[in-house]
Copies of this chain bind each other. A is one copy, B any other.
């Protein structure tokens, strides 16, 4: 059965086939904006949004995100990229140009807690999440029927101490070539270093605390013990350091002495899903640049 909560087509139709996004990071120096905007102008591209940030005018890094429209984008993009490469080289840029109409493909990893997965599915079916959901991967079978009702493939890969290496291999085979970004939507297993290396700055985790407070397991228990007056959630890119990767977004909610651990979890669930959804949004819209374990978010 295909689920009745089908993707809103009226929303999809508004995607502009001729819109592209450009991301640039390079050492700052005079003339970057002039060179890039002159290049786009000469290629008849119309800048519709532009953000930039200079870490330090003297010797710092420069970051830029441009959205532009260009007629016949698809046909002309290869040449555009080729021409831009020369400019990029002269400024030592790391850069990318992507078509807005080529949606990023998500692989969502989930364990038993379903609220973050459900939030992403909802936003997606409502037309609010500009991405494709390529698959859901889980170490439990619980969510299969629900996920498949949306015509989304569901892969059950159990993980035990002994099968961990095998599971990682299976996961990588599934996502390689099929997913551009991995979302750990309360996936309670450690991701193997080999996996992290392959998806650098493309694995988003939601940690259920206001990092760096309460790193590691059972953060709501830790928060309860410490008696904090706000609880939080943190979306971050996964690095080899547990809960130590670049922070994308955080938010908090107020709690009182009345809240026991279960109530903290209940309040926290809404914070977690809102924070994760925002981070995924920004990622799929190419709004995030990473530099030295920190993020620049042009939102």
Number of copies: 4
Name A57's contact: one of B5, B48, B114, B294 (CB within 8 Å): B48
In the complex, 25 of the A-B residue pairs with CB atoms within 8 angstroms, ordered by the A residue number, are: A3-B145, A4-B142, A5-B146, A30-B41, A30-B46, A31-B41, A32-B47, A33-B40, A33-B41, A47-B54, A48-B54, A49-B52, A49-B54, A53-B257, A118-B122, A210-B230, A211-B228, A212-B214, A227-B246, A227-B247, A228-B247, A229-B247, A252-B252, A257-B296, A257-B297
A155 within 8 A of B: no
Residues from chain B with a CB closer than 8 A to the CB of A35 are: 41
Residues from chain B with a CB closer than 8 A to the CB of A297 are: 229, 256-257
A249 within 8 A of B: yes
Residues from chain B with a CB closer than 8 A to the CB of A40 are: 33-34
- Docked-complex contact B251 and A146, CB < 8 angstroms: no
Name A226's contact: one of B32, B37, B212, B249 (CB within 8 Å): B212
Chain A residues 18 to 46 lying within 8 A of chain B, measured CB to CB, are 29-35, 37-38, 40-41, 44-46
A126 within 8 A of B: yes
| Contacts A115-B122, A145-B4; A252 near B266 (Cβ below 8 A) | no
**Given contacts A53-B257, A256-B297, could you give 9 more A-B pairs where the C-beta distance is less than 8 Å?**
A5-B114, A29-B46, A30-B41, A47-B52, A49-B52, A210-B210, A226-B247, A252-B252, A270-B274
CB-nearest residue of chain B relative to A213?
B213
